[in-house]
Structure 1
Amino acid sequence: MISFKDITFIYDGRPLMSHFSETIHAGEKVVICGASGTGKSTLLNSIAGLVRPDNGEVWVNGQLLTGDTITEIRRLTAWVPQEFTLPYDRVEEWIFAPFRLRQNRNKAPSVHMVLDIFELLGLEQEVYAKRLIEISGGQRQRVMIAIAVLLNKSILLLDEPTSALDPDAIEKLIAFLRSCKNMTMLAVSHDDRFIHAFDRYIKIG
């Protein structure tokens, strides 16, 4: 469960978001939507501990997010940003890098599991063996989502997950994410198909 309690973000001396309160229940899949510049991605980033609200509290699974609890909360969450740079050369290397960390070693998937998810997301098996510079932005986006789901965290955060996808890929992504029944998801999106595909949406601004 994720709870935002009276959240305010201030940017350049002005409120980006004021007195926002909302609860996302365990297993719920919720999309945050609204005009650009209203603090949607900032709100998502606050759960990952990348930004802190100027006022208010963020609670994750009964824990108040603070400097003392952020490490534990990050163990519960997988985060897929809209833009990212990667220090890897090959897709295979990128996929398995998180599973070399001690806390994730027992979750390491087989190659077969990875390729099964690739198929569900509409990714060709050949992508697995390619260099990162050889794959498109939409393919990178879906590989990142595959990794996040394979990490099997209880909470998945998605920032504009369809921004580089065509309509067919969007439909496959929606079906795949909806099949992850026990995972709590909070996404930011401007895509109407994505917004209306999940349990509910929260409009900001």
Structure 2
Amino acid sequence: MSAATVDSASGRSPLLVVENLGRRLQQDWIWQNIQLRLDAGDRLAIMGPSGVGKSLLLRAIAGLDPIQAGHIHFLGKSLSDWSMPRYRSQVLYLHQRPALWEGSVEANLQQVFLLHQHRRRGYQRQRILQYLRLLNRDETFLDRPSSMLSGGERQITAFLRGLQLDPMILLLDEPTASLDPESTASLETLVQNWQADNPQRAYLWVSHDAEQRQRMTQRAFQLRGVANAK
């Protein structure tokens, strides 16, 4: 079995609680008995060797993949009691290689509000322009065709698309892996501003960059898969 622990003595009411979580592919357990708590304002690093299943853990927490054992609670409610579209807009998973719709960057941002879950909300262009300023980009970025974006620009577009939904938790899976140092610094600033706007917000961050973890997180969850658990 896995040995996965979080060192937290905050005493705050949790945003997210993961209890005895287990994930299996075919007949083999990837990890088991995962215990994790995320409090308001937390900045938590997910650590572990390559292949241990860090991305799979984030996907399970996001409700994107099935779990074979354990429970997930968000704001005191079981995952099964949430509408999945609502839950996924509040506990937002940002993929290393995000999928985008055809059309411009701005069309991708606007498309979200055509979905049933978000139909009562509206696209706020000024808010997006504010985000772009933090990313050292101007409004011409909104006109870029999605088919012409680099890997880093696709990540930025997906990030903006998610932030406008006001999630409470970000599940960040190597979000700066395709970015140059300047863009990485800008995106980190954007995450910090997102959290500062609402101290209740929290995030989990998977990063192989030790310096980035030191800058962007305050505690760590060490994930050890079944195969290499002691």
Is the shorter-chain TM-score for this pair beyond 0.5, marking a shared fold? yes
Cα drift, residue 116 of structure 1: 1.6
Cα drift, residue 161 of structure 1: 0.3
1:69 paired with 2:88, answer no
1:147 paired with 2:161, answer yes
Query: How far apart, CA to CA, are the structure 2 residues paired with 1:163 and 1:58?
Result: 28
**Stretch of structure 1 that moved more, 36-45 or 182-191:** 182-191
Cα drift, residue 70 of structure 1: 4.4
Q: Which residue of 1 aligns with 2:218?
A: 199
The question of whether the paired residues in 1 share the 8 Å contact of 2:101 and 2:146 is answered with: no
Q: Structure 1: which 5+ runs fail to align? A: none
Cα drift, residue 111 of structure 1: 2.1
Q: Which residue of 1 aligns with 2:73?
A: 59
Output the TM-score relative to the length of structure 1: 0.89
Query: Which AA in structure 2 matches 1:190?
Result: H
The question of whether the paired residues in 1 share the 8 Å contact of 2:100 and 2:154 is answered with: no
Query: How far apart, CA to CA, are the structure 2 residues paired with 1:199 and 1:104?
Result: 33
Q: Which residue of 2 aligns with 1:114?
A: 128
Q: Which residue of 1 aligns with 2:9?
A: none
Counting aligned pairs with the same residue, the percent is 27
Query: Which AA in structure 2 matches 1:10?
Result: R
Cα drift, residue 32 of structure 1: 0.9
Q: Structure 2: which 5+ runs fail to align? A: 1-14, 225-230
What does 1:1-205 correspond to in 2, within 5 Å? 1-66=15-80, 68-71=81-84, 72-180=86-194, 181=196, 182=198, 183-196=201-214, 197-205=216-224
Q: 1:105 and 1:134, CA in 2 relative to 1: closer, same or farther beyond 3 A?
A: same
The question of whether the paired residues in 1 share the 8 Å contact of 2:155 and 2:175 is answered with: yes
Output the TM-score relative to the length of structure 2: 0.80
Cα drift, residue 63 of structure 1: 1.2
Query: Which AA in structure 1 matches 2:73?
Result: W
Query: How far apart, CA to CA, are the structure 1 residues paired with 2:211 and 2:137?
Result: 20
Deviations 1:69-124 (A, max 9, x none): 34242342222111233232211110111122344345434322212211212334
Query: How far apart, CA to CA, are the structure 2 residues paired with 1:156 and 1:108?
Result: 21
Cα drift, residue 13 of structure 1: 2.4
Q: 1:97 and 1:109, CA in 2 relative to 1: closer, same or farther beyond 3 A?
A: same
